[in-house]
Amino acid sequence: MGDIEFLSIVRTLGFIKRCSTTPVVKSYSVAEHSYYVALYSMVISRILGFKGDRFLRVMYEKALVHDLDECIVGDVIFTTHYNNPSFEKELALTREKKLRELLCNVSSSILSCEIMDLWNSSKNGMEGEIVKFADRLELMFYCLVEKRLGNSFVGNIFYNCYDTIEKMKVFKFRKIKDLVNNLLREFSK
C-alpha cells in the first residue's frame, strides 16, 4: 500500500460516528471531532497565552492525529474503556499495533515514522495537555448543542467529560476554569 491508499483509508474518519450508543439529533464523525479539537486547542492556547509558531504547529498536528487510530479500530465509547482499566490498557496496545501496521505499509517511511511519533505523543507535553483537554471540551460543547436541539440523552456524556476535565492540568488555569464552569452553567439551564 502506498501513500494514496493510506490517505484514502484516513478519509474513513469522516464516516465513523461518535457517541454511537446515545440517541442524538445530529450525529457527527471522528473527522468533524478532530477539526473542533484543533480549533478549541487554538482557542485554549491563546487564552493561556501560548505563542510561537513551533508550539502552535506541533499542537495543531497533535490535534489532527490524536484519533487517527480510529480509522482502523473505530470510536470506542469512552465509558467502555474508562471504567475498565485492563480493557483500556489492552485497547491502547491494540490501537498502537493496528496504526503501526497501517503506517508501516505507507511507501514513505519518513512520513509513517513522523505520523506514528506524533500520534504516540499527541496527549503528551503542554501541546498534548491542551489537545487532551480540548478533546473532552469539544464533546461537552457537542452535548450542549444537542441539548439545545432537544436531546435529553446527552447528560451522562457531558457530566462524564466534566468529571475527567476538572482533573486535567489545563483546568487549573483560572480563565479555563471560568470557561468550563460557564459551560456547565449553560448546560444545566
DSSP secondary structure of 36-95 = HHHHHHHHHHHHTT---HHHHHHHHHHHHHTTTTHHHH----HHHHHT-HHHHHHHHHHH
- Amino acid (one-letter) located at 106: V
Q: Is 153 helix (H, G, I), strand (E, B) or coil?
A: coil
For residues 127 and 152, the answer to whether their CB atoms sit within 8 Å is no
Please give the Cα distance from 60 to 67 (Å, whole number).
13
Q: Where are the domains of the chain?
A: 3-188
pTM for the complete prediction? 0.91
Q: What is the pLDDT along the chain (189 residues), one digit of tens a residue?
A: 567 777 888 899 999 999 988 999 999 999 999 999 999 999 999 999 988 888 999 999 999 999 999 988 888 877 776 678 888 888 889 888 888 888 877 656 667 778 888 888 998 999 999 999 999 999 999 999 999 999 999 999 999 999 999 999 999 999 999 999 999 999 999
Give the CATH fold of the 3-188 domain. Hypothetical protein af1432 (1.10.3210)
Short-list 35, 57, 37, CA closest to 133: 37
For 70, residues 6+ apart whose C-beta sits below 8 A from its C-beta are 13, 16, 30
Contact by Cβ (8 Å): 183, 40: no
